[in-house]
């Protein structure tokens, strides 16, 4: 696939899966918009992005998604519009785990923070940036799911609730846009992966038994392929999509 000069926004781009996707997509010629809240980490990732093509142009957006509102979302839209004519894709990767505790003990402030970052921000960004995404010839919006989005599990609290909500959000956007827009919406569960969040959730787990973020790259690339244009499926789990990618 040709990703030369494709412009892709990645939230949570300073660590883990988001950082790896930013680096690998930039090697293929994409313009990467890095969105995160830590300026020093953003600068570091920006410096690592490859500029293989003269016209390649990357952008840093410093934003705290827990505080995102209509005004700041439109500021993000203006910042992107000032630099690019179209946004070819959004990868909603940013998320926080919150606390692993019974619901009756869950602190409201932490509950709100998790829901704001994991669910409210993807809704606001998608809603606000839809107009510039539709300027793309092959637009994509990718939400990041989780195994705890399908069945409620004790102690996963706000994180699980946010992923249940995100799954529904992706399905609603898919249904609403399929006959009115060229945007393809996908919801992807990357499964158990070596990330800081996974280590926090399962501290006793051996990280060497898990796949690395680099093993996810081909799955994310498939979402931007022409083959994905014909997909009637909105939701993918890693094992199924990895087999699909390997066979093509």
Active site residues per annotation: 159
Tokens 């830590």 belong to which residue? 38
Q: Note whether 60 and 34 are within 8 A (CB).
A: yes
CA 97 centroid distance within chain: 15
Q: What is the distance between the alpha carbons of residues 234 and 124, in angstroms, rounded to a whole number?
A: 20
Let me know: does 111 contact 162? Beta carbons within 8 Å: no
Question: What are the backbone dihedrals phi and psi of residue 79, each rounded to the nearest 5 degrees, phi first?
Answer: -65, -40
Alpha helices (runs of H) in the chain, residue ranges in sequence order: 16-27, 39-48, 70-83, 108-115, 121-133, 157-177, 196-201, 217-223, 238-247
């Amino acid at each position: 696939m040709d990703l030369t000069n494709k412009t892709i926004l990645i939230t949570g781009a300073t660590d883990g899966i988001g950082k790896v996707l930013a680096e690998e997509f930039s090697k293929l010629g994409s313009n990467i918009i890095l969105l995160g809240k830590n300026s020093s980490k953003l600068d570091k990732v920006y410096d690592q992005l490859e500029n293989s093509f003269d016209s390649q142009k990357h952008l840093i957006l410093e934003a705290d998604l827990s505080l995102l509102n209509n005004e700041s979302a439109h500021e993000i839209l203006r910042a992107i519009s000032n630099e690019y004519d179209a946004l070819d894709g959004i990868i909603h990767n940013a998320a926080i785990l919150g606390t692993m505790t019974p619901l009756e003990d869950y602190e409201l402030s932490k509950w709100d923070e998790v829901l704001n970052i994991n669910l409210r921000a993807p809704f606001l960004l998608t809603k606000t940036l839809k107009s510039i995404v539709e300027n793309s010839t092959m637009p994509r919006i990718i939400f990041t799911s989780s195994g705890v989005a399908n069945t409620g599990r004790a102690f996963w609290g706000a994180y699980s609730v946010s992923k249940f909500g995100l799954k529904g959000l992706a399905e609603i956007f898919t249904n609403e846009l399929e006959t009115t827009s060229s945007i393809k919406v996908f919801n992807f569960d990357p499964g158990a992966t070596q990330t800081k969040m996974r280590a926090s959730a399962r501290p006793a787990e051996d990280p060497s038994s898990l796949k690395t973020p680099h093993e996810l790259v081909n799955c994310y690339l498939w979402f931007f392929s022409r083959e994905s244009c014909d997909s009637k499926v909105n939701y993918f789990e890693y094992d199924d999509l990895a087999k699909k990618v390997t066979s093509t």
